[in-house]
Chain A
Amino acid sequence: MPLLRIGSAVIASRVSPLRLIGPTVSLVGLIVFAYILLTGKINLSSLDMGTLAAQLGSQQDPTTAIAPVQLDRGVPRAEDRIRIATFDIQAFDAKKVADPNVLQTIAAILSYFDLVAIQGVRSPEAMPVARVIDVINRSGGRYETIQSEPVGKPGRKEQYAFVWDSKRVRMIPDSNYTIRDDADRMVREPYVASFETRTPSAQGRASFRFTIINAHIDPDEVNSAAAVNELSVLDDVFVRVREFEYTSRGEDDFILLGNLNVDARNLGELGQIPGMISIAGNQPTSTDGKKTVDHILIDRSATSEFSTRYGVVDYQKEFGLTPEQAMMISDHRPVWAEFSVNEISAFENVAQQPPAIR
């Protein structure tokens, strides 16, 4: 708490009117407790994706225990890289996770990544995120989460969340905050947190440490012809968070991600920050494959840890869902990118935009 207060004071003097407030509610304790209670009771080897796909086609009694899911989609993650994703889970509320099929699919999708920035949570008490993490951890995972306070206009408030595999990543304590926006320049103020990879110390290289800015832009405030454009505010957010984090914590790697409601050609001032790239570019990210609105942005001249591997998960295809079943998960697909688990100097290798992996 004191650290956050100091943080607020520091950034208030540097970046007014976009300043920091916090802290937000941590669920780490609850999740760890659930993990301790539940670990070891499930035979993971008896499960495969075919089982999950079959379950998705049938209705389950919501009172029965939720079956575990196969983590990582059965593909082990590389030891030397982490996968970071953004996923707008449309209207992610208690009702959505009350459907066991939807709950399991979201859990299976999230478990594919080491860290996921989520938009669209509609539950101040974080219940839907906690339930998904419970399923992952019952299945042998060890995921944790933190969620922002509600942001947005009355009647349309939502939260951001970060979900991460605590075996591979840890959040820097007290590094989370919501951008303070006294001048009310944004409908939903972005949510920020810093993380670092957990890597064996024997490798002799520092863990990759980075700050993520999680954003959900209002679709009516991104018109490039209009004077009111949130993307022209978001570039200030990126620059000022970078300045603040570099000054206060020595941080030099920043990832801005989320539902920006524009394609890569219309990023406006945000896309004009020197070195800034949208990793997945114009790959379609809506569930119907018709629109690109979700992005992972990095300054490629600074974040050389980007491994050049990225993709957009078409979970309708991956899990053999009907279009209607897929839309019950979300109207967005997750976008992901891989990064080295170790810090790489910006001078060692400049990240290039590679071909996509889907």
Chain B
Amino acid sequence: MSSSHESLSAIKSELSHSDTKRRCNAMRKLAQSGSNQAGITASVIRLVADKNEEVCTWASEALESRIVPSPSEIVELIDLLRETKDGEVEYWTATMIGRLGSSASGATAVLANCLLDSPCLAARERAAWALSEIGPLARSAMNALKQIGPEDPPRLQRLAATAIASVVNRAA
């Protein structure tokens, strides 16, 4: 237990290191590794807003194809989505929450807020998608989903409609 804990701490420490080169190397290594490392999802998401472009690139690469969040990370992800003002961070946090499916039901409220209030369209779309992945347990987001109307972009409308159907149909 202690060795994996130490290794997790070491990775997190490198990912948040003040030296850009070390952050970048750690991020690239992670994106190019063949396996998923649990427990670092929020640390990686924060790096999509890094001031170094290469760090951002590798963070997005890792998030797209490598990172599989674990249910134990949900509280950290909820806090991150609630606190961030960065559209990219919102987008990836909503995506990671969506990947958790019904076990992310605790994130329904922050996803609904992101859906309605985020200035980043891609993040709003991913919030709608995540709610549909949560399914019936996201019932409390129904009002927010219904506020997406014909004046909204077509993809967002479609995703909101899909989420409503997912909440209703799977609940039925």
Residues of A within 8 A of B (CB): 90-91, 93, 95, 122, 153-156, 182-185, 218-220, 223, 226-228, 286-288, 290, 323-324, 327-328, 331
Q: Across the interface, name the chain A residue whose C-beta is closest to B64.
A: A219
> Are A91 and B65 within 8 A (Cβ)?
no
Q: Is the CB of B154 within 8 A of A323?
A: no
Tell whether, in the assembled complex, residue A95 and residue B54 are in contact, meaning their CB atoms are under 8 Å apart: yes
Within 8 A of A (CB), among B20-37: 31-34
B interface SS class: helix
23 contacting pairs across A/B (C-beta < 8 A): A90-B31, A91-B58, A122-B57, A153-B91, A155-B56, A155-B87, A156-B64, A183-B158, A219-B65, A226-B166, A227-B132, A227-B162, A227-B166, A228-B132, A228-B159, A228-B162, A286-B34, A287-B34, A290-B34, A324-B32, A327-B32, A331-B31, A331-B34
B60 CB–A CB distance under 8 Å: yes
Instruction: Point out the residues of chain A lying under 8 angstroms from B95, CB to CB.
Output: 220
A220 and B99 contacting across the interface, CB-CB below 8 Å:
yes
A-B pairs under 8 A by CB, number: 66
Nearest chain A CB to B45's CB is how many angstroms away?
Answer: 13
Within 8 Å CB of B132, what residues of A?
226-228
In the assembled complex, the Cα of A52 lies from the Cα of B142 at a distance in Å of: 60
B binding-site residues for A, Cβ under 8 Å:
31-34, 48, 54, 56-58, 60-61, 64-65, 87-88, 91, 95, 98-99, 122, 129, 132-133, 153-155, 158-159, 162, 165-166
Interface of A is mostly: loop
Can you add 10 more A-B contacts, CB < 8 Å, to A156-B60, A227-B132?
A91-B57, A155-B91, A184-B154, A218-B64, A228-B132, A228-B162, A286-B34, A290-B34, A324-B32, A327-B34
A183 pairs with B154, CB closer than 8 A: yes
Contacts of A327 in B (CB 8 A): 32-34
Residues of chain B lying within 8 A (CB to CB) of residue A288: 34
